[in-house]
Structure 1
């Protein structure tokens, strides 16, 4: 059980996502999140919030080049919320950016949309609008 009032020992600073095409995923997720490219290490690309970068309040994302095929549903996925529009308008924006609707067995009555990025990595668009960080 998580304790309240205890000293924080760690926080998430980076998310690492294996990618066949780091360029493609970096462009997609930069458009989705308003991130920018922070650095490259070989074929790997790290993106994060503009003007903040690594260590800021939001984690950066590293797209790690791999030839391994994606096998099945991800055990960890990203959830996003719109900051400046309602969910239906954000869904349109994400689909136009290259996301596609994904079926992982949802009923269709959920208040979120399950989507996939251009390489098939699932993520959810939640209903609530949140303030920009």
Structure 2
């Protein structure tokens, strides 16, 4: 038996804005949207593709839910994003910053192979060096 990573849940103040931001950042789409919950899935996913994949091989989505409290400390869990080797990594970071991400210092060493950013509500994530797989 195997469990499937189904979703990553993001606590936030404005679920619609956060879902829209992450959809734009990742090229995903929002498939469910209310004031109490928004759900994003990869942009390439469609019903026909899902029918042909084994259940345990379907990748996770992102769910955004409201919470009253603000973010207070560094995340204990974060996303690592990587551009393809055919992409300009610095241009991708600049694109994310244009969308509202900001560079943050979480105590990372000088000159790492990644850049730490935060989404508009302060959730940290990293942009790694370019990868081909």
- In the superposition, the TM-score normalised over structure 2's length comes to 0.83
Q: CA RMSD in A?
A: 2.0
Tell me whether 1:47 sits opposite 2:49 in the alignment. no
Q: 1:93 to 1:48 in 2, by over 3 A?
A: same
Q: 1:96 to 1:70 in 2, by over 3 A?
A: same
Cα deviation for residue 51 of structure 1 reads 5.1
* Aligned equivalents of 1:80, 1:123: Cα separation in 2: 7
* Aligned equivalents of 1:48, 1:124: Cα separation in 2: 20
1:66-94 CA-to-partner distances (Å, cap 9, x unmatched) read 11221201111011111351211111111
Note if contact 1:39-1:47 (Cα within 8 Å) is conserved in structure 2: yes
Note if contact 2:16-2:35 (Cα within 8 Å) is conserved in structure 1: no
* Aligned equivalents of 1:50, 1:57: Cα separation in 2: 13
Higher helix content, 1 or 2: 2
Note if contact 1:85-1:129 (Cα within 8 Å) is conserved in structure 2: no
Alignment length, in residue pairs?
A: 124
Corresponding residue to 1:110 among 109, 112, 116: 112
Q: 1:128 to 1:29 in 2, by over 3 A?
A: same
- In the superposition, the TM-score normalised over structure 1's length comes to 0.83
Q: After the TM superposition, which segments of 4 or more aligned residues of structure 1 sit over 4 Å from their partners?
A: 53-56
Other-structure match for 2:11: 18
* Aligned equivalents of 1:108, 1:44: Cα separation in 2: 38
- Structure 2 unaligned residues grouped into runs of 5+: none
